[in-house]
Amino acid sequence: MEDLPIDTSHPAVRDYLALIRLQVLTPLSLLVNIATLMVCTFMVNPNVGQIFELYPSSITPQPYMVAVYIVGIYILQVGYCILLVFARAPETKRALIKGCGMPLMLSNWVMALWAISWILQAFLISTICLGVLLVLLLYSNIVLLVYHAPTNKRPLEIAFIHAPLRAFLLLPLNVLFANSLFVVLGKTWSPGEPQHYDRGQWSGLGVVLGVNLIGLLVIAMRRDIVWCVAATWMCASLWSQSPKPYPIMVTAIAFTVLHPAALVISALWAWFRGRRGPRRGPIALPPDEEALQHGPNGAPQGERSAREVDAEAIWG
């Protein structure tokens, strides 16, 4: 490093080098993630979707809908990689470098490890991978929200930074982590014993109710379109996979309706408050002519009231 003609300890140089590393490593991690999941889906037996069917639980999602969701995440990440190369605004570069660059790159590697461990039926390792994935994505989303908040002035950041990170987070949060944990804890039944489909239904109901109540609050308070679409899709993936315990089925269907409804109601409320405008205080009437001719104490202008003290006369 001492032989380089530039000062690598300078903050601007370090940010530039970090951006270059991300421009190389992030597309590579995405390609590894895509290639691994493609191999684990189409070239091995049993594949990722068949493992879901071999170990059904009360919160097992529909594998086809999860696959479509993951493809959507990949498409958004392709846009992220393009933005990573062509970003020029300093705010966008800071969000990429300090907000989500390294956690997203690591998340792609962890997702690939999860796919391998899942088809090998090493469920404890797959659960650990999903836990690490959840922590990485939760951290990056919090950093983006606190230090690089989305703004309508930079729509590309919303579309290709905040959206893929948010959608990626909801994959382990709403479906994969809890389902993998249920498999590890033995809360599953044999595919040939559908009469035991209610095994673990109350713990499954707690999971579905908890994550969706959190999502409902986020959607209502922040009017988060990405969270609304992702959470609705995850709920649909639950009730579309049968058999399902009746309480979980009803809860998933209810939140499939409640998430879009909360977004619409929150948007209408914000629009209605904007139309009403800020609240104003009472109207102040202009002073009359007599008030203008007298001072604030009622004495004529230029004269002191009886209670007013002449400071100059006291202090000289």
- Does the residue 305 lie in any domain? no
Q: Give the residues across from 57 on adjacent strands.
A: 188
Percentage of the chain surpassing pLDDT 90?
56
- Does the residue 205 lie in any domain? yes
- Does the residue 295 lie in any domain? no
d(CA 96, CA 293): 64
Q: How many domains does the chain have?
A: 1
- Does the residue 144 lie in any domain? yes
Kindly list the distances between the CA atom of residue 285 and the CA atoms of 225, 232, 282, 290, in Å, as whole numbers in the listed order: 46, 54, 9, 14
- Does the residue 292 lie in any domain? no
pLDDT, tens digit (0-9, with 9 covering 90-100), for 257-277: 999 999 999 999 988 887 775
Q: Phi/psi at 57 (nearest 5 deg)?
A: -130, 180
Q: Give the residues across from 300 on adjacent strands.
A: 294
As given in the structure block, the two tokens for residue 143 are 């950093």
Show the domain range for 214. Answer: 11-275
Q: What does the DSSP assignment read for 184-208?
A: HTT-B--TT-GGGTTTTHHHHHHHH
- Does the residue 140 lie in any domain? yes
pLDDT, tens digit (0-9, with 9 covering 90-100), for 239-259: 998 888 899 999 999 999 999
pLDDT, tens digit (0-9, with 9 covering 90-100), for 154-209: 888 888 899 999 999 999 999 999 999 999 998 888 887 766 667 888 999 999 99
Work out the mean pLDDT of the chain and round it to a whole number.
Answer: 84
d(CA 297, CA 24): 75
Is 295 a residue whose pLDDT tops 60? no
Q: Which helix (H) or strand (E) holds 258?
A: helix 246-276
Look at residue 142 and give its three-state secondary structure.
Answer: helix
The full length of the chain comes to 316
- Does the residue 242 lie in any domain? yes
pTM of the model: 0.82
The residue-averaged pLDDT of 93-99 equals: 87
Query: pLDDT at position 6, please?
Result: 63
- Does the residue 179 lie in any domain? yes
Is 108 a residue whose pLDDT tops 50? yes
